[in-house]
């Protein structure tokens, strides 16, 4: 696949954001978070031997126990490669040599090409990409309450994602339930392509819908079919059915995306104690086996197909069986996954998440811990990093804003911290006597407009002022922010033309009856 050095986007990470010179009036601080490099050393929870043992056990699971594959075409692909297929039980046993060969052809890094090349997404170890909460049937905000997602809601989250540099990719945030399923993919893809120049998402819900999505992106971005297939221009998320099952749309999606050279993020959802063993190591062994089965299917469908290794292993509440997020076990599973992903050398996803029903302190803390776990694990892509509630049953607009504040703080940690003589500031220290202050020093004046990150919804006024102003919480202030962003939103220049390129296609396909959902 792509050589990252030679195909680096034209405008790389902006430099010089912190004015260190002597300019009298420094420029306003920029929030340019388009290309982040994780500043933290990846952490570990397992020894190297233990990671090798988990990997080896996963291979044994695939070879001796196998995976149930519901799609006949997928079983045929596995069989042709030498796997042992039982057409009665639908079990596919995949030999270690087949998996090892697939690991050898899976690319270690690649670029996702966005509508705007400055928005291209690096899938490589060390890169750090954030995506808002995805896949929710409902949306919620403090104005209109919790409700089934609509196309208008979906478009709003596409707009919010476009607005914040730190949200690097579009996604299937909420389900537009007001659009029939055979036409929904047109509306979702159109919203992404006409409101945003970020890297778009296509659902794996059957070949017809997938190919429609590909065609819309190809048209909107002015690519030949060959150009489209030569590099990743979109991605999907594949969830295995733990334990050890690949269902129809997921198997089909892996094949369809691989054949077109597009990205599958293959993510088992291994809940320790429920659909996976109760131990972190056991849940990861099952996760690893399932992810490798999907990765192998992708490579068998097209050698070199871009695949992102996925983890979404957390644990359940053993009292109720409900999934939990941001737990210590979730963090440990994520850090362990980072070790496995580095072991096999693939870019990988983890993510945020919360089980809370409301954008409260529980929701903030669960997402915070899940995100920190992912960042310290060295994840390449973090899905559900902002706004996700109820274990994915809703996305909250206020929570999206407050979570973005955390993501932007982490993005700031990716920027260099000046440590040169000017930053060490002996002269400024000499200037200010005991009892004095630094507010008016030349050193401060030259930097004050850009020195600090300005949090989005922080209120630092004193208690009296805050009380007189109505005692608003951060969540209430976040409401005003999403409202103003949506009110003032303008799509990137040039996207109006995209609509002209794709609307005739949508009209034609709609007239033809749309595309059925494979479920």
Which is closer to a copy of itself, CB of 187 or CB of 428? Answer: 428
Report, in this order, helix, strand and coil percent for the chain, each rounded to 5: 45, 15, 45
Least distance (Å) between residue 331 CB and a copy of itself: 6
Identify how many contiguous H helices and E strands the chain contains and give both numbers: 18, 20
Which is closer to a copy of itself, CB of 121 or CB of 316? Answer: 316
Residue 448 C-alpha from the chain's centroid: 34
Residue 448 has a CB neighbour count (10 Å cut-off) of 16
Which of 12, 365, 484, 490 lies at the binding interface for a copy of itself (CB under 8 A)? 365
Which is closer to a copy of itself, CB of 305 or CB of 331? Answer: 331
15 scored as a contact of a copy of itself (CB under 8 A): no
The neighbouring-strand residues paired with 110 are 123
Which of 84, 423, 496, 497 lies at the binding interface for a copy of itself (CB under 8 A)? 423
Restricting to residues 266-285, which ones interact with a copy of itself according to CB under 8 A?
272-282, 285
449 scored as a contact of a copy of itself (CB under 8 A): yes
Restricting to residues 193-252, which ones interact with a copy of itself according to CB under 8 A?
241, 243-245
Quickly tell me which residue has 């996963």 as its tokens.
58
Helix (H) or strand (E) holding 293, with range, is helix 280-301
Which is closer to a copy of itself, CB of 61 or CB of 157? Answer: 61
Quickly tell me which residue has 């050279």 as its tokens.
261
Gap between the Cα atoms of 261 and 239, Å rounded: 19
Which of 239, 251, 296, 394 lies at the binding interface for a copy of itself (CB under 8 A)? 394
Which is closer to a copy of itself, CB of 3 or CB of 459? Answer: 459
For residue 471, CA distances in Å to 188, 459, 464 come to 38, 10, 9
Binding segment (CB under 8 A) for a copy of itself, from list 115-123, 304-312, 431-439, 504-512 = 431-439
Least distance (Å) between residue 279 CB and a copy of itself: 4
Question: Nearest to residue 172, comparing CAs of 200, 213, 210, 140?
Answer: 200
Binding segment (CB under 8 A) for a copy of itself, from list 93-101, 123-131, 358-366, 485-493 = 358-366
What tokens were used for 229? Answer: 């297939």
Binding segment (CB under 8 A) for a copy of itself, from list 2-10, 193-201, 418-426, 500-508 = 418-426
Q: What's the per-residue H, E or C state across 334-393?
A: HHHHHHHHHHHCCCEEEECCCCCCCCCHHHHHHHHHHHHHHHHHCCCEEECCCCEEHHHC
Which of 24, 88, 421, 512 lies at the binding interface for a copy of itself (CB under 8 A)? 421
363 scored as a contact of a copy of itself (CB under 8 A): yes
Which is closer to a copy of itself, CB of 170 or CB of 334? Answer: 334
Helix (H) or strand (E) holding 60, with range, is helix 48-60
Which is closer to a copy of itself, CB of 229 or CB of 360? Answer: 360
Cβ-based neighbours of 276, under 8 Å, separated by 6 or more: 242, 243, 270, 282, 283, 286, 287, 313
313 scored as a contact of a copy of itself (CB under 8 A): no
Which is closer to a copy of itself, CB of 63 or CB of 231? Answer: 63
Q: CB-based burial of residue 147 (10 Å sphere; 0-12 exposed, 13-18 middle, 19+ buried)?
A: middle
Question: Nearest to residue 110, comparing CAs of 351, 338, 307?
Answer: 307
Binding segment (CB under 8 A) for a copy of itself, from list 189-197, 222-230, 409-417, 489-497 = 409-417
Restricting to residues 468-497, which ones interact with a copy of itself according to CB under 8 A?
471, 473-475, 478
Which of 5, 224, 463, 508 lies at the binding interface for a copy of itself (CB under 8 A)? 463
Residue 424 has a CB neighbour count (10 Å cut-off) of 11
Which of 80, 322, 496, 497 lies at the binding interface for a copy of itself (CB under 8 A)? 322
Least distance (Å) between residue 453 CB and a copy of itself: 5
Least distance (Å) between residue 5 CB and a copy of itself: 24
Counting residues that bind a copy of itself (by CB under 8 A) gives 125
Which is closer to a copy of itself, CB of 244 or CB of 509? Answer: 244
Restricting to residues 81-100, which ones interact with a copy of itself according to CB under 8 A?
91
Restricting to residues 37-76, which ones interact with a copy of itself according to CB under 8 A?
39-41, 43, 45-47, 50-51, 53-54, 57, 60-61, 65, 67-68
Restricting to residues 133-192, which ones interact with a copy of itself according to CB under 8 A?
146
Gap between the Cα atoms of 2 and 514, Å rounded: 34
For residue 391, CA distances in Å to 174, 394, 458, 467 come to 13, 8, 26, 34
**For 164-201, where are the alpha helices, taking DSSP H only?**
181-195
Restricting to residues 325-354, which ones interact with a copy of itself according to CB under 8 A?
326-329, 331-332, 336
The answer to whether the CB of 255 falls within 8 A of the CB of 77 is yes
324 scored as a contact of a copy of itself (CB under 8 A): yes
Query: Helices 280-301 & 96-105, crossing angle to 10 degrees?
Result: 70
Which of 4, 142, 357, 517 lies at the binding interface for a copy of itself (CB under 8 A)? 357
Cβ-based neighbours of 315, under 8 Å, separated by 6 or more: 271, 272, 273, 278, 283, 323, 324, 327, 329, 330, 333
Least distance (Å) between residue 96 CB and a copy of itself: 15
């Amino acid at each position: 696949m792509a050589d990252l050095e030679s195909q680096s986007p034209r405008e790389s990470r902006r430099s010089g954001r912190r004015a260190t010179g002597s300019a009298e009036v420094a420029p306003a601080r920029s929030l340019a978070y388009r290309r982040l490099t994780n500043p933290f050393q990846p952490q570990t929870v397992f020894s190297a031997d233990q990671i090798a043992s988990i990997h080896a056990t996963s291979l044994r699971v695939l070879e001796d126990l196998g995976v149930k594959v519901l799609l006949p075409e997928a079983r045929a692909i596995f069989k042709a490669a030498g796997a042992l297929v039982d057409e009665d039980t639908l079990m596919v046993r995949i030999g270690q040599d087949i998996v090892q060969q697939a690991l050898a052809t899976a690319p270690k890094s690649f670029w996702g090409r966005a509508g705007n090349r400055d928005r291209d997404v690096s899938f490589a170890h060390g890169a750090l990409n954030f995506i808002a909460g995805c896949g929710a049937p409902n949306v919620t905000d403090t104005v209109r309450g919790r409700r089934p997602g609509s196309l208008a809601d979906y478009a709003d989250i596409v707009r919010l994602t476009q607005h914040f540099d730190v949200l690097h990719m579009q996604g299937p945030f909420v389900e537009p339930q007001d659009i029939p399923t055979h036409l929904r993919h047109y509306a979702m893809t159109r919203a992404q392509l006409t409101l945003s120049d970020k890297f778009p998402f296509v659902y794996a819900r059957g070949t017809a819908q997938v190919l429609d999505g590909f065609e819309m992106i190809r048209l909107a971005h002015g690519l030949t079919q060959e150009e489209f297939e030569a590099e990743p221009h979109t991605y999907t998320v594949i969830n295995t059915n733990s334990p050890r099952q690949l269902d129809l749309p997921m198997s089909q999606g892996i094949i369809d995306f691989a054949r077109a050279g597009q990205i599958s993020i293959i993510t088992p959802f291994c809940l320790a104690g429920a659909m996976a063993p109760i131990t972190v190591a056991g849940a990861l062994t099952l996760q690893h086996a399932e992810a490798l089965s999907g990765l192998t299917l992708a490579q068998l469908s097209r050698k070199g197909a871009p695949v992102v290794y996925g983890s979404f292993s957390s644990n359940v509440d053993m009292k109720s069986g409900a999934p939990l997020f941001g737990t210590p076990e979730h963090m440990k599973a994520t850090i362990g996954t980072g070790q496995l992903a580095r072991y096999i050398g693939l870019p990988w996803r983890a993510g945020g998440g919360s089980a809370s029903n409301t954008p409260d302190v529980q929701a903030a803390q669960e997402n915070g811990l899940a995100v920190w776990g992912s960042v310290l694990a060295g994840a390449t892509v973090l899905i559900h990093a902002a706004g996700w509630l109820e274990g994915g049953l809703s996305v909250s607009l206020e929570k999206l804003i407050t979570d973005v504040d955390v993501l932007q703080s982490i993005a700031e940690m990716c920027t260099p911290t000046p440590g040169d003589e000017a930053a060490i500031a002996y002269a400024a220290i000499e200037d200010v006597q005991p009892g004095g202050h630094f507010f008016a020093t030349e050193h401060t004046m030259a930097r004050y407009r850009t020195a600090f990150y300005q949090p989005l919804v922080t209120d630092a006024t004193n208690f009296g002022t805050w009380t007189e102003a109505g005692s608003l919480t951060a969540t209430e202030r976040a409401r005003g922010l999403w409202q103003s962003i949506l009110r003032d939103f303008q799509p990137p220049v040039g996207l109006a033309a995209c609509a002209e390129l794709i609307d005739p296609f949508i009209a034609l396909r709609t007239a033809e009856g749309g595309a059925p959902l494979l479920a």
